[in-house]
Amino acid sequence: MNTQGIKKVVIAGGGTAGWMAAASIAKLIGKHLDITLVESDDIGTVGVGEATIPPLLTLHQLLGIKEQEFMAATNATFKLGIAFENWRNVNEDYFHSFGTTGKDCWACGFQHFWAKGVERGIAGDYAQYSPETIAAYENKFAVLPKNGVNYAYHLDASLYAKFLRNMAEEHGAKRQEGKIASVQTNDQTGYITSLTLESGQVIDGDLFIDCTGFRALLIEQTLHTGYDDWTHILPCDSALAVQTTAVEDPIPYTRSIAHEWGWQWRIPLQSRVGNGLVYCSKYVSDEQAKERLLASVQGELLTEPRLIKFKTGQRRKHWNKNCIALGLSSGFIEPLESTSIHLIQRGIVRLLQMFPQNQVQQSDVDEFNAQMAHEVDNIRDFIVLHYHVTNREDSRFWRHCKSMEIPESLQHRIDLFRETGRVFKVPNELFGENSWIQVMLGQGIMPKQYHPIVDTMTDKELVDFLEHIKMNSLRLAQQLPSHQDFINHHCKSTML
């Protein structure tokens, strides 16, 4: 690859974002690049993004990462989806699984056949037609050939960064210890030219990647890119995170438990559990939230609760001049559907696809920004759906979420599904039809009609069709070993 004009890539900040970028660039296109990552041991990372989604497996394949080795090194477990508890209403739960549910036909999705089955009283719960959901609740898992089960991971984000650092350094990336004191720019172009460390050392570069977290030292403090604030539709602005000892075998899914002012996560790793409380400080104090979190966790505390303040939204440009923002510096939606690491991955892959040959081209920058904004907007809509479509009215927080004005793009999806049962995935969208269907059904939207092609089936044929899918899903799940047994055999942590 000819990178004659771009020779020095400087990554500001480490953590998951920084080392994902360093490892990916160094391994995939770094043969003729000088890659330097600047980080300070004195600056902590957020490091609580412990749940992932299936596209991460694609990046790992691209990087040649061996699953057993990665999981053992990062204390990882498997994830089949997310259990949403108390979201539709208190004591009402549903599951958002990875993969597909049922069997589609050329004209419509499985939900149309299921909807008629519900109308006729011959269909079970929608979750019964998803092997991933059944396996999750049965606490079973195995990696199957031909993607027989769709999955992702729970992992220790700090250990993941360490794992990626080793890969990055093996492929020539260099780490520079130090705090960044100032950022220099070209007076004429406004491009970043170098970083000066507190030690006085100057790190010059051609392309800069901002992984400085919420500080956004390069993309915002230096380049003043601007930020679109989404607090009016994603009102949570605070999180408390704490680690506890494991008191039971890890389950193969994330728990998302809604409460009066937000929600709580519970993420099982092999040797411990990650816990957190996401909330809106307008409705509860930090101290009250801390008391609630500590009263609801299981096991002994391994860390003190850590408070994280954030503002939901995204940078107006993810790529500005010769600076690309990745991770928290580019924006933050919130961790509800485990999209943070995915968006780091998407930014990296897009950068690799549009990597400048000689110099930064504005057309590349514009295309990168359009694609990132489009993808982030769709993820935002999917997250807002969880809050807005609810029967909860038991607190000021939920009454606000239920009555708030939402983006037209989301309102259209809701109306389309409610009126017709239809869901369409837009190009380059992360969440597929089945994700939207599971969450809309789970939050309480039942389609008013189904596609007319379903009526070509007799009731007996529909019964047989639904029963065959349900039994196959159940049979597949029952054949799997327990999640813990598979981990013991496949990828037991080196920490245990």
Same domain as 334, residue 223: yes
Note down the domain range covering 223. Answer: 8-50+156-228+315-360
In a domain, 496, yes or no: no
pLDDT band at 5 (very low <50, low <70, confident <90, very high): confident
Assign residue 270 a region (left: φ > 0; alpha: ψ between -120 and 50; beta: otherwise). alpha
Instruction: Kindly state whether residues 319 and 451 are assigned to the same domain.
Output: no
Q: Does one domain contain both 298 and 319?
A: no
Residues 399 and 471 in one domain: yes
Query: Which pLDDT value is given to residue 44?
Result: 67
Structure tokens at 406: 């939402």
Using pLDDT thresholds of 50, 70 and 90, give the confidence band for residue 351: very high
Check whether residue 298 and residue 345 sit in a common domain.
Answer: no
HEC-encoded secondary structure of 175-199: EEECCEEEEEECCCCCCEEEEEECC
Give the dihedral of Cα atoms 282, 283, 288, 290; nearest 10 deg: -60
Q: Taking the CB of residue 410, how many other CB atoms lie within 10 A of it?
A: 20
Is the pLDDT at 4 greater than 90? The verdict is no
Q: Is residue 423 part of a domain?
A: yes
pLDDT recorded at residue 496: 62
319 in any annotated domain: yes
Position 380 in a domain: no
Sheet with 81-89: list strands edge to edge: 92-97, 81-89, 254-259, 262-268, 272-279, 238-245, 306-309
Q: Are the C-beta atoms of 34 and 6 separated by less than 8 Å?
A: no
Q: Which residues pair with 273 in a beta bridge?
A: 244, 268
Q: What is the mean predicted confidence (pLDDT) over 341-362?
A: 95
Residue with tokens 């809309």: 440
Question: What number of other Cβ atoms are within 10 A of residue 247's Cβ?
Answer: 10
- Mean pLDDT within 134-159: 94
The pLDDT value recorded for residue 316 is: 98
pLDDT tens for 154-163 read 999 999 999 9
Q: How many residues are there in the chain?
A: 496
CATH code, domain with 222:
3.50.50.60
Residue spans of beta strands (DSSP E) within 132-252: 152-154, 174-177, 180-185, 192-197, 202-204, 207-210, 227-229, 238-245
Residues 20 and 127 reside in one and the same domain: no
Bridge pairing between strands 207-210 and 323-325: parallel
- pTM for this model (two decimals): 0.96
The band of 47, judged by pLDDT with boundaries at 50, 70 and 90, is low
Strand 34-39 relative to strand 174-177, pairing: parallel
Mean pLDDT on 303-311: 95
Domain membership of residue 235 (yes or no) is no
Are 284 and 188 members of one domain? no
Q: Does 76 reside within a domain?
A: no
Q: What is the pLDDT of residues 452-490, one digit of tens each?
A: 999 999 999 999 999 999 999 999 999 999 999 999 999
CA separation, residue 207 to residues 37, 171, 355, 363 (Å): 12, 19, 10, 16
pLDDT at 3: 42
Cα-flanking dihedrals φ and ψ of residue 293, to 5°?
-60, -50
Q: What is the mean pLDDT of residues 298-319?
A: 96
Whole-angstrom distance, CA of residue 262 vs CA of residue 334:
11
Domain tally for the chain? 3
Asked if 60 and 27 count as a contact pair (C-beta separation under 8 A), the reply is: no
